[in-house]
A and B are shown apart, each in its own frame.
Chain A
Amino acid sequence: MKHLKKLALASVLSVAALSGTALGEETIRFATWDSDESLEIQKEIARRFEAANPGVKVQVEPYADGYDQKLIASFGAGNPPDVMYMWNYPKYYTSLMPLDDFMARDAEAMNLDDIPPGLINTTRIDGKAYGMPAGFTTHVVFYNKDMFEAAGVEMPSEDWTWAELREKAAKFRDEESKVYGFAVEAKPDPFDYEQFFWSNGTRFIAKDGSAVDGYMNSPEAVEVLTMFADMAANEEAVVLGIGDNSSGSALFKGEKLAMYQSAMWSKGGFDEAGINYGVAKLPSFGDKPVHSSIGASAMSMAKDTKNPDLAWEFIKFFSSAEAVKLRTNDLPIRTSVAEEMEMTTDPIFKPFFDMLAVSDSESNAFLKHENWGKIQANLERAIEATMIEKGNAKKHLDDAVARSQRHLN
C-alpha cells in the first residue's frame, strides 16, 4: 500500500511539474526513450535542475517505444527537442551540435577525467563528440542462485568460457516444466550481438568500413553463430524471437531460465520479482579476451536550439555527480561515484565494471559505414536463418555478405 501511495504522489507531482508555463520562463525540451522508473529518475533530475536554475522549465518528453519515429518526424519537420537521448549518431550528426568546445571549456569544472573516455568515444563521428554520456551498461550473465543450488550445479567462475556455460546449461533442461539453462536470441539487436564477434576475434565490418567480406563471414563469425545454433539444437538454450515473444527476462523472472545474458535494464525487474540471482562476466571463447558491447545513454543537443548555453548546462547537469547518483537503473559514468557507492566491489555490480575495463578497444559497426542499417538487415536475416535451421551459418553469412555488396559502394 505504501508503494501505491508513493506512486500516486509521484504521478501527481509529475503532472504538477508538467502543467503550464509561466511567463518569462525559458523552456528546454528534453526527449527521452525511457519509461516507467527510469523516466521518473530523469524527471527528478530535471526538477533538481529547475530548482538550481530559477526561471528555467524543463519539459520532459517521453516517447518510449515510438522514440525513433517521433524523432524523425520532429527533425524532418524542423522542430526537434533541444536536448535528447541519442544513439544513432551517423544518421543525425549533421543536425546535432558538436560538444567538444563546450567540454573543453568546462573540462575542469566538470572533472571530465572522472569519466572513462571509452564512454564519450561511443558518441564520436569523425573525431567530434556529439553526445555526453549520462549512464551506461555493459553486458553480463545473470544466473539464478536458487536453481543452481537445487540442481547441484557449480556457480559460474570469475573467468569462465562458453564451453563451461554450455555444460552447465545442459543440466537444467527439463522438458516437462519447460525449463532451460540459457536463452539465445534469433533476432538479437546487432548492436549488442557484435560483442560475441569481438570476443571471438572478429567484427562485423573492417575497422575502416571498407569491407564486410572476410569479417562478417569469417571462420570466427561462423563459429559464433554455429555455437548458438548448436545450443538451440541440443536444447541447452531456448530460442527467443522466433515464435516465442516471451522475453528472456520474463522467463528468468518465472524461473524458467537458469542463466540469461543481458544488461542493467533487466536488473530492476529481477529485483522486483524477488529472484535470488548472481551476476557473472560474459564467458570467453577459449582463451581469447572477452569483450562487451557498451550501451551508453548519452545526451545530444539539436544544432538549431535557440539556447545552446542553457541546453549545455542541462546536459552538464545530467553528467554531474549529483545526477549520476540518482540513476539507479543504469551504471554511474563517474568512477568516483561508482567507488563511493561501493559498486566496484559489490558482487552484483563488479562484473559490469570488469566488463567495462576490457571493452574499450572496439567501436560499433554502425559508426563505420553510412549504409550500415541496410547491411545490418542482411546480417539479421543470416542470424535468424541460422537459428531457424539450427545450422548452415556459413551459407547464410556468405549470403548476407553478397547481399550487402551493393550498399558498400
Chain B
Amino acid sequence: MLRTFTYGALIFLSALFILPFYWTFITAVKSVSELYQYPPVFWPSDVQWENFITAWFKQPFDVYFKNSAIVVVMSTIGQLFSSSLVAYGFARFQFKGRDVIFIILLATMMIPWDVKMIPLYMEFNMLGWINTLKPLIVPAYFAEAFFVFLLRQYIMTVPIEIDEAARMDGANSWQIYWRIHLPLMMPALVLVGTFHFMNAWNDYLGPLIFLNDQSKYTLTLGLSMFKGLHETDITSIAAITVLLCIPPLILFFFAQRYIMDGAIGSSVKG
C-alpha cells in the first residue's frame, strides 16, 4: 500500500515538474504559425529540429560555451577546496572569536548584490580584471559562506569520536581533514559541487557587469540577448534553454549517485 502511494506521489509530482520543461521543448521546435495558436498545440505537426541549429548560430555560442566551461570548471574546483577547509575549521575547533566570525560569515550571505556591485566593479577595474573571466573565477577560491555553512552542518553530524580516535593514532589536524573528513564529506561535496556548478553556469549578473565584449560572454549572457528591449525571440530562448540544460543534467544524473552511496557508515568502516 505504501509502495503504491510512494510511486503514485512520485509520478504525479514528476509530471508537475516536467510539464513546464516539456512546454519549453515543444516551443523550441514549433513553427512560427503554431507558436501562438490557441488552443495550445501539444505536439507540433511539423517538428522543426533545425530551430536548435539556427538559434545556436545566431550568436557565437561556441565561444560562449568555451567561456562558460572555463568559468564553471575553474571556479568549482576552487569552491570545493576552500569551502571544505573553512567548514572543517569552524566545525572542529574551539578558538577565540569563532562564534563571532561565524556570525559574520553568515551575515555575508545577506548583503544585497545591488550595493556590492559598484564597489566591486571599482576594485576589479583597479586590478585590471574587467572584461576578463577572473572576477567570475577567483572569488570562488575564497570560500562562499553558503557552502561553508552547508558543509559545517554536515561535518557536525559526524561523531566526534572519529576525530578523537584518529588523534590517538597520531594524526594531525590536516591529516584528519584530508584522510577522514574529506572522504566522509563526499556526498555533501558533490552537493556543493552541483550547486556551485549551477550557480556559475546560470549566473547572469556577474558576467553582465564584469564582461564587456562578446568574445568574453558566457552562455547566459547569450541567452539574455534574445530578449531585446522591445521584442523577444521566444523560439531561440526556448531552444537555447533546452540545450543549456543538457550538460548539467547529464552531470547531475551521474553525480547524484555519489550523494546516495557515499554515506558515512561505509567509508568509516573502510
**Chain A contacts for B58, CB-based, 8 A:** 7, 11, 36
Docked complex: A206-262 residues within 8 A CB-CB of B: 246-247, 249-251, 253-256
Which residue in chain A gives the minimum CB-CB distance to B236? A36
Of A13-21, A145-153, A356-364, which stretch is located at the interface? A13-21
Is B36 among interface residues, defined by CB-CB distance under 8 A? Answer: yes
CB <8 Å contact, A11 and B60: yes
Check A256/B36 contact, CB under 8 A, given A63-B208, A65-B229, A76-B121: yes
Docked complex: B214-270 residues within 8 A CB-CB of A: 214-215, 224-234
Is B101 among interface residues, defined by CB-CB distance under 8 A? Answer: no
Distance in angstroms between the alpha carbons of A135 and B209 in the assembled complex: 27
| In the complex, number of A-B residue pairs with CB atoms less than 8 Å apart | 126
**Chain A contacts for B212, CB-based, 8 A:** 29, 59, 61, 81
Check A272/B32 contact, CB under 8 A, given A11-B59, A18-B215, A70-B209: yes
**Chain A contacts for B122, CB-based, 8 A:** 77-78
Docked complex: A1-42 residues within 8 A CB-CB of B: 3-4, 7-8, 11-12, 14-15, 18-19, 29, 33-36, 38-39
**Chain B contacts for A35, CB-based, 8 A:** 225-228
CB <8 Å contact, B208 and A253: no
**Chain A contacts for B214, CB-based, 8 A:** 14-15, 18, 60-62
Which residue in chain B gives the minimum CB-CB distance to A255? B36
CB <8 Å contact, B37 and A73: no
CB-CB contacts of A315-329 with B at 8 A, as 1s and 0s? Answer: 000000000000000
Of B49-57, B102-110, B179-187, which stretch is located at the interface? B49-57
Which residue in chain B gives the minimum CB-CB distance to A87? B229
CB <8 Å contact, B213 and A69: no
A78: shortest Cβ distance to chain B, in Å?
7
CB-CB contacts of A62-85 with B at 8 A, as 1s and 0s? Answer: 111111011011101111010000
CB <8 Å contact, A65 and B224: yes
**Chain B contacts for A269, CB-based, 8 A:** 231
CB-CB contacts of A255-295 with B at 8 A, as 1s and 0s? Answer: 11000000101101100111000000000000000000000
**Chain A contacts for B38, CB-based, 8 A:** 177-178, 254, 256
Is B130 among interface residues, defined by CB-CB distance under 8 A? Answer: yes
Check A70/B32 contact, CB under 8 A, given A4-B53, A59-B213: no
Distance in angstroms between the alpha carbons of A63 and B213 in the assembled complex: 9
Chain B residues close to A by CB (< 8 Å): 32-33, 35-38, 50, 53-54, 57-61, 63, 117-119, 121-122, 125, 130, 204-205, 208-209, 212-215, 224-234
Query: With A4-B57, A7-B54, A66-B224 given, can you name 18 additional A-B contacts, CB distance below 8 Å?
Result: A3-B54, A4-B53, A11-B57, A11-B60, A12-B60, A61-B213, A63-B208, A64-B229, A65-B224, A65-B228, A67-B229, A69-B209, A70-B208, A73-B118, A73-B209, A76-B118, A247-B232, A253-B36
